[in-house]
Amino acid sequence: MRLDSLAAAAGLALPGDAGELAGRTVTGFAIDHRKVTPGCVFGAFAGQTVNGEDYIAPAVAAGAIAIVARPGVSADGAVLVAAAEPRRAFAEMAAGFYQPIPSTLVAVTGTNGKTSTVEMIRQLWRIAGERAASIGTLGVTTPDESVTTGLTTPDIVTFLANLTGLAREGVTHVAFEASSHGLSQFRSEGVAVAAAAFTNLSRDHLDYHADMEDYFAAKMRLFGEVVADGGAAVVWADDPWSTRAAEVARGRGLRVLTVGEGGEFLRLVGREPGLLGQRLQLEIDGARHFVTLPLIGAYQAANALVAAALVLATGGAVPATLDALARLQPVRGRLERAAILANGVPAYVDYAHTPDALGSAIAALRPHTSGRLIIVFGAGGDRDAGKRPDMGAVAAAGADLVIVTDDNPRGEDPAAIRRAVLAGAPGAREIGDRRDAIRAALAEARAGDLVLVAGKGHEQGQIIGRGADARVLPFDDVTVVRDCAASLTECNA
């Protein structure tokens, strides 16, 4: 498409001196000047650590024909598309370029549960016969189960290019995670989102957001601006922030579907934990339904029901969707049973890295142990430091043995991070090396106990250092748990 056509479609005006560049064909979009090719539109945004405006000249030299930036920025040699919110303007222009996209899009936001929920939606759609994919922390999961890794909410160019690629492969349904960072940076703009969900809100990312109100406001951009007019908002009703989330959606004129024990659309009447799953009693439109969910934990039930509600909101049939819940597969790194020791002790891996998520994981596993619950976890460096003692306190209150270890130290002193966690769990054991900590927990476990390794979940590496000095050491909690379990078995044979 021509530059002037893309701008007009996004409601943007080109400057009067755009000249012949206005009629040039756009070949692509880039927010990294190193990825600019002739005919590109370059987005020059001021970030927390890098200012894209500093790279306008190199982008023009590489062939950029237009620069999307704040008013008053110099863009010699290219057309300046000036906007008060350049990220939004860039996204809306890019959305006109990256076509086609799948016909049905849904998004999930919240502190915890996003990854599991979008993957469950993909599975429910697949079981119903749809060509479906998910985009989020685990990457892009396609209909044939192949996965490419990425950010929770990738940059707008990657996001839109992924959607176009999926559409060209025949994918019609996509569920994606909408993080607070991604929403505040307009990384999910310009596409028709048919329905979206809010799972919950608890402390996280306060190194980025000013406070919880700012964090909530970022999440609510999903209901307030991103979901298409006339779309649906699914709200987990049993969260303290749910009433306010529903008010935002209603204020926008969206169809609000509440889910949970307090839900009006899909009500959770009862839940009975089992050895490897749970039996759910549900109510929809006054009718009772029973579902055997093959996943453990109250929060896994919550994720599954939010997923089901989004499927129903986009045309799914009630009987088929509820039947499909019984066929859901575990999500990588989310209460994933990694090993069963020779003495029968199960070891689980979970991504929980906030106080609320840690408490939920502990609560999910407690009914499944007759002995002690042993937990291994740490806290990430260069992230919200205020949550560290809270995580320690939650672990100490819910587990019988707590081992504090390293997570992703990044640019901080690992020992200092551990001290902050231990301040909330003074009786905990400290073992800095994560492999040693996992091995110690497994060696400690006796028949009837249960081990939880929390914090990293699906991650395949441990990040040490920051910036140019950062290193990613190969580390997969599930693999390490299995290796340690095997070595303990050999030692005890």
CATH code, domain with 467: 3.90.190.20
Q: Predicted confidence band at 493 (pLDDT cuts at 50, 70, 90)?
A: very low
Question: 330 lies in a domain?
Answer: no
Structural domain including 482 reads 336-492
- Whether 315 and 349 map to the same domain: the answer is no
- Asked whether the beta carbons of 169 and 141 are under 8 A apart, the reply is no
- Whether 71 and 137 map to the same domain: the answer is no
Strand 346-350 and strand 450-454: pairing? parallel
112-160 pLDDT tens trace: 889 999 999 999 999 999 999 999 888 899 887 776 655 566 789 999 9
- Whether 163 and 295 map to the same domain: the answer is yes
Q: Is 177 annotated as a binding residue?
A: no
3-state helix, strand, coil in the chain (%, to 5): 40, 25, 40
72-88 pLDDT tens trace: 999 999 999 999 999 99
Q: Is 148 annotated as a binding residue?
A: no
Q: Predicted confidence band at 492 (pLDDT cuts at 50, 70, 90)?
A: very low
Six-digit token string for 302: 């919550």
pTM of the model: 0.81
Q: Is 292 annotated as a binding residue?
A: no
117-130 pLDDT tens trace: 999 999 999 999 99
Q: What is the pLDDT of residue 183?
A: 87
- Asked whether the beta carbons of 381 and 411 are under 8 A apart, the reply is yes
User: What does the alpha-carbon distance between residue 158 and residue 152 come to, in Å, rounded to a whole number?
Assistant: 12
Give the percent of the chain with pLDDT over 90. 79
Query: What rounded mean pLDDT belongs to the chain?
Result: 93
Residue that is last in its domain, among 39, 69, 97: 97
What's the average model confidence in pLDDT over 406-413? Answer: 96
Total domains present in the chain? 3
Question: CB-side exposure of 157: number of CA atoms within 13 Å?
Answer: 14
Q: Is 405 annotated as a binding residue?
A: no
pLDDT reading at 383 higher than 60: yes
Q: Is 409 annotated as a binding residue?
A: yes
Q: Predicted confidence band at 350 (pLDDT cuts at 50, 70, 90)?
A: very high
Residue that is last in its domain, among 47, 79, 97: 97
Q: Is 337 annotated as a binding residue?
A: no
What ranges in 128-173 are assigned the alpha helix state H?
Answer: 156-168
Residue that is last in its domain, among 78, 97, 116: 97
Question: 11 lies in a domain?
Answer: yes
What's the average model confidence in pLDDT over 445-452? Answer: 96
261-313 pLDDT tens trace: 999 999 999 999 877 789 999 999 999 999 999 998 888 999 999 999 999 99
Q: Is 51 annotated as a binding residue?
A: no
- Asked whether the beta carbons of 431 and 405 are under 8 A apart, the reply is yes
Q: Is 446 annotated as a binding residue?
A: no
What's the average model confidence in pLDDT over 188-197? Answer: 93
